[in-house]
Amino acid sequence: MPEARLAELTTLRVGGPAGRLVHATTLAELTDAVAAADAVAEPVLLVAGGSNLLVADEGFAGTVVRVATEGVEVAQEGPEVLVTAQAGVGWDDFVARAVTEGWSGIEALSGIPGAVGATPIQNVGAYGQEVSATVAEVTVWDRRLRGYDASPVMSAPSATGTAGSRRIRTGSWCSP
**What is the C-alpha separation between 89 and 76, in angstroms, rounded?**
20
Does 176 map to a domain? Answer: no
Q: Say what the pTM is.
A: 0.79
**What is the C-alpha separation between 155 and 117, in angstroms, rounded?**
17
Domain span at residue 47 reads: 6-67
Q: Do residues 152 and 66 touch, judged by C-beta distance below 8 A?
A: no
What pLDDT tens digit does each residue of the chain (176 aa) get? 567 899 999 989 999 999 999 999 998 899 999 999 999 999 999 999 888 888 999 999 999 999 999 999 888 877 788 888 899 999 999 999 989 988 888 888 888 888 888 887 777 777 777 777 788 777 877 788 887 777 665 444 333 222 233 344 444 443 33
Give the rounded distance of the alpha carbon of 57 from its chain centre: 25
How many structural domains is the chain composed of? Answer: 2
Question: Based on the domain organization, do 87 and 107 belong to the same domain?
Answer: yes
Closest CA to 24 of 80, 57, 52, 65: 65
Question: Based on the domain organization, do 37 and 101 belong to the same domain?
Answer: no
